[in-house]
Amino acid sequence: MMNLYSWIMGIVGAICLTVLIDVMMQDGETKKYVKGITALIVLAVIIAPLPKLLNEGFEFDQTIQEYANTANEYSLNNDFIYAVNQEKADELSINSQYYLKQNGFENVKISCYVDYCSDFKLRLVNVDLSQLVINKNVENININDEIIQLVLKATGANKDQIVILN
């Protein structure tokens, strides 16, 4: 791009020189020859970069590399994204606790933790049953399994991500 700038300025300079000579010189035979020479100089300035352009072509690789390097400068604020994802996880924990309450399991403390990445991915779901109060008939029911199933439904996590704390 900078070569284009200097090329255009070179043409402008050559033409200005031509005009200056044309204006300064008196009419006569000498002026005709001088005008012819300056015209050739202008032509030479115009076509000077063309042989290089025809032989080597445009250099795109350097330009693309510059773009790629600059792309890395547009970096994400990963701390902010992690904070937002963790807020979503905290909201999910509260809602899951309400869901369990609706299904007869009160005072269950659920804590959801996310991965430090740009996506919302649950890393761990802690289910604290130390203060569990059961408000329904649980005969012939495995309480842990029942709670795990409900937490799976509420959080969308995988079974291996859920940790039951008694």
Does residue 156 interact with another protein by CB under 8 A?
yes
Q: How far apart are the first and last CA of the chain?
A: 69
Nearer to another protein, 2 or 166 (CB): 2
Does residue 44 interact with another protein by CB under 8 A?
no
Cα separations (Å) of 5 from 8, 83, 136, 160?
Answer: 5, 48, 82, 63
136/139 Cα distance (integer angstroms) = 9
Minimum gap (Å) between residue 87 Cβ and another protein? 5
Residue with tokens 């009160």: 106
Residue 78: CB atoms within 10 Å = 11
Does residue 18 interact with another protein by CB under 8 A?
yes
Does residue 148 interact with another protein by CB under 8 A?
no
Site for another protein, rule CB under 8 A: 1-2, 4-5, 8-9, 11-12, 15-16, 18-19, 22-23, 66-67, 70-71, 73-77, 79-81, 83-85, 87-88, 91-92, 94-95, 98-99, 102, 118-120, 153-154, 156
